[in-house]
Structure 1
Amino acid sequence: MTHLATPAITGFATGFSLILAIGAQNAFVLRQGLLRQHVFWLCLFCAASDALLIAAGVLGFGALVEAWPRLPLIMALAGAGFLIIYGAMRFHAAIKGAYEMEIAGKSRSLGAVIAIAAAFTWANPHVYLDTLGLIGAISTSYPDWAQRIAFGAGAVTSSFVFFFSLGYGARLLAPIMQKPGAWRVLDVVIGLTMWVIAAGLIRGVVTGSIGG
């Protein structure tokens, strides 16, 4: 079992380091966690999505992009468009300042929450780079399939640990979020995050580093 522990730990550390950066998906999970609405299903959806992509990367389906070379470009443009719109919605909410529902802990329907999470997850070309590309590439350093699977399992575990920790850990900030001003600051930060990520995607398209 010792020979499987090292790749599993490496996979966990690799996956956790890739997902740790604050991105659009993480910001949405944080906001939903503060509302304490649909947290379990949202975290499960995000972690399960990562698991599918990591499994695909480890099993060698990173060649998908080679089969459809325009896919990264399409995903980048779609993702940037969605992030710009969602960021604008958060800025509008901050300007409007009507946070009665948030303070009362009310949220969108489960279907709406999962739909937004799906857009953040599957319309983000960076997630494919991290999972199908980077994690998939690192897994090839383990010629033994048992070790490769252990590496992938470690990476998948990191996603579940991270998302559920973020979603349920957000409630620790709940006392701070009982004032409209705190929600306004959070929405401005999330809006800026969305637009910065969108700008990065558009820059990648323009420079040719995405879809080039």
Structure 2
Amino acid sequence: MKKYFIGFISGAMLATVGSVYAADALEKVEAYLKPQSVKLNGQSVTLENPAIVYDGSTYLKVRDIGKITGLHVDWNAETETVELSSGKGFDLDGNPSSIAQTDGIESIEFKLEVLDDYITDSEGTALKYKDTIYLPLTTGAQKYNIDKREIVYTVKDKTVSFTGKSINIPILDKFEPNCDGFFKNGMAFVREDIFSQVKK
């Protein structure tokens, strides 16, 4: 039976980006692997590797941290140093992604796949991130035969709801992984499975 400890994210991160270390710099410790949920700007992200819990603190792989924050991670074997740099971000799949500057803060621009032939007899283009498909709000309503008059958009809260349904969808200003909806080019996109829930 695996033993898990609950820890908290600490300022330090586990450096596992290289395989060459000085033998006298290593200290053997007893630690535990723990599946760790992590959120980026309020949205859940999936780590490729489990966290390590040691002495009451939770440590994440530097490369995992780099991928979800847009930092590029290198291992300098000559100096045995983990090197972090900005401007060379990667998306969650490990592919290079562009970095947007906002008031000195860098954020990842996640890649969305355009599905040109996914929607027929309707305006708008479907977008896909990993296994999740997003449809323009009015296009999704049309595809699932939902009366557009049932769609309620609340400007103050930036949410979409449907008359007679207990579904309330926050529409983010830009896409983030695992979000229910977001704006892109002035158009609101919503997860396709939400339309099927509304139709039930």
Q: Structures share a fold, TM > 0.5?
A: no
Name the TM-score class by shorter chain: under 0.3
Q: Which gives a bigger RCO, structure 1 or 2 (Cα 8 Å, sep 6+)?
A: 1
State the structure with more CA Rg: 2
Q: TM-score normalized by structure 2?
A: 0.21
Higher strand share: 2
Q: TM-score normalized by structure 1?
A: 0.20
